[in-house]
Homo-oligomer: A and B are copies of this chain.
Amino acid sequence: MAEYNSQPLITAAQEFAKLPGIGLKTAQRLAYYILNAPEEEVEQFASGILRARRSMKLCSVCQNICNTDKCDICSDSRRNHKVICVVESPKDVSAIERSGGFDGVYHVLHGLLSPMNSIGPQQLKIKELMARLSDTDEVIMATSPTIEGEATATYLSRMIKQLGVKVTRLAYGLPAGASLEYADDVTLQRALENRNEI
Contacts and interface: CB of A to CB of B under 8 A. Distances in A.
A49 B67 contact: no
A6 B71 CA distance: 8
A39 interface: yes
A155 interface: no
Copies in the complex: 2
A145 interface: no
A7 interface: yes
- Specify the main secondary structure of chain A where it touches its partner: helix
A189 interface: no
Interface size on A, as a range, is: 35 or more
Contacts of A26: 21
Given A94-B3, A97-B3, A46 B50 contact: yes
A45 B15 contact: yes
A-B pairs, top 6 by smallest CB distance, nearest first, are A4-B97, A12-B52, A1-B100, A46-B46, A15-B48, A11-B52
